[in-house]
Amino acid sequence: MSETTLFREPKTRKLLLSAGFSWLFDAMDVGLVSFIAAALSVDWNLSAQQIGLLAAINSTGMAFGAAVSGSLADRYGRKAVLLWTLLLFSVASGLSALAPNLLVLSILRFIAGFGLGGELPVASTLVSESVPEKVRGRAIVLLESFWAGGWILAALISYFFIPHYGWRMALVIGAVPAIYALFLRRAIEDSPRYKEQAGKKKLTFSERMASIWSAKYQRATITLWILWFTVVFSYYGMFLWLPTVMVMKGYTLVKSFQYVLIITLAQLPGYFTAAYLIEKVGRKGVLAVYLLMTAICAIWFGNATTTGMLLTAGIFLSFFNLGAWGAMYAYTPELYPTSVRSTGVGFAAAFGRIGGIIGPYLVGMLIDKGTTITSVFVVFFIAIVIGALTVLFFGVETKGTDPDRIVKE
């Protein structure tokens, strides 16, 4: 069966679209936080450090959500955990619109982050287990491409709603995925690989953790944790601050939203090229090249002095960084067998979210201390290079392999 024919199959297309829209809503929520932060800095007179703290709290919730949900999905199934996490983050996001102060907003953002962080690794695991090996990587990158759609939607909502109706209305729209969860309940089912495990004894949490740190998978786990940390640290540190950085560079709030929307559009071709190359070149090659190009673009963006340079650097930064994200999500589930896969993916993502906590808060702290934007982006350059070299020298190629066979040493 050809790859083209496969993606035309109603069952596969329905799975990708169903999981993809849940992914889109996740991205919309994260994107809205970045745009709302810029508006809150004006509305509530927040310092850069307070904005960084809000983003860090959201990422803290995501870290806990990824770890807990990843483990639960190996115990109770991918579908059930996916639905509950989607519902949790949607309700918390909608309630955030009623927050009277930063403390209440932070608590609700932690809860929303918990649901959001839990949903992402479970959704990628579900799709990875449900499609044939020869298109597994491409399917995951295409799933991840819905993230760009969510950011674009967040940028559009922010551009058209926040200036006229305020940031609270944007968060009300963030509650829409709760309705979608009702549809998703009937639209998807657990993966065939997980169903095959139904009659077998489920491993306990301690047994699953012992497995992912056993001699067989230890190298893969260490590689993934470093990769996830550096990618998430740099992504959330850079992209959650994009609208605010634009304002700091002298642009109006509306103009900054417009420019970030343009930059966000570049995510789509980044995903699509990665989706094509990942089955041609392999996971390691795409990850290493896209990450190294992201590092170069980070330096370029940090040194941009004109509007044209800022937009061009931002477009290429967005292109390569999100392409690398797609490859990382495709790569991660392929390193563990079904019995511990969601746990392995969840904890790699959870460790990465620690980077997502540190990144935005570090930017706020550095800016408050008078550090230049150029110097801040040098930090991200170094982190991304570390991630790229880790994959290049310590990662194993998983293209064409069966995750339930022994991982190559």
Interatomic CA distance for residues 291 and 139, integer angstroms = 20
- Which pLDDT score is estimated for 273? 92
- Domain borders along the chain are 12-184+212-394
Q: Tell me what pLDDT residue 336 has.
A: 92
What gap in Å lies between CA 25 and CA 245, rounded to an integer? 24
Please report the pLDDT score of residue 373 as a whole number: 84
What is the structure's pLDDT at 161? 82
Kindly report, residue by residue over 125-179, the tens digit of the pLDDT. 888 888 887 888 888 888 888 888 888 888 888 878 888 888 888 888 878 777 7
Distance CA 397, CA 280 (A): 12
Q: Whole-angstrom Cα distance, residue 174 to residue 159?
A: 15
Q: What average pLDDT does range 353-367 have in this prediction?
A: 86
Print burial letters for 293-319: b (CB count within 10 Å at least 16), e (below 16).
Answer: bbbbbbbbbbebeeeeebbbbbbbbbb
Residue with tokens 């496969």: 6
In the chain, pLDDT over 90 holds for what percent of residues? 32
Mean pLDDT, residues 386-391: 96
Contact 240, 357 (CB under 8 A): no
Rounded mean pLDDT, 371-393:
93
Is 386's pLDDT higher than 90? Answer: yes
Domain 12-184+212-394 CATH class label: mainly alpha
Structure confidence at residue 327 (pLDDT): 92
CB-based contact 244:38 (threshold 8 Å): yes
C-alpha closest to that of 82 among 173, 183, 208, 184: 184
Percent residues over pLDDT 70 in the chain: 95
How would residue 7 be classed by pLDDT, with cut points 50, 70 and 90? low
pLDDT band for position 405 (cuts 50, 70, 90): low
Predicted local confidence at residue 254, as pLDDT: 64
Q: What is the pLDDT of residue 200?
A: 75
> When comparing pLDDT for 34 and 1, which is higher?
34
The reported pLDDT for the residue numbered 308 is 86
Give the pTM. 0.81
| pLDDT at site 52 | 76
pLDDT above 60 for 5: no
If pLDDT is split at 50, 70 and 90, which confidence band does 243 have?
confident
pLDDT for 26-76, tens place per residue?
888 888 887 787 788 888 888 877 887 887 788 889 899 999 998 899 888
Where residue 407 falls among pLDDT bands split at 50, 70, 90?
Answer: very low
Tell which residue, 12, 6, 30, 13, has the closest CA to residue 322: 30
Q: Is the model more confident about 179 or about 81?
A: 81
What local confidence, expressed as pLDDT, does residue 253 receive?
65
Is the pLDDT at 409 greater than 80? The verdict is no
Q: What is the DSSP string of 78-94?
A: HHHHHHHHHHHHHHHHH
Q: Mark out the alpha helices in 279-332 (DSSP H runs).
A: 283-302, 307-331
* pLDDT, mean over the chain: 85
Query: pLDDT band at 285, cuts 50/70/90?
Result: very high
pLDDT tier for residue 8 given thresholds of 50, 70 and 90? low
pLDDT digits (tens, 9 = 90+) for 291-343: 999 999 999 988 888 888 888 999 999 999 989 998 998 899 999 998 899 99
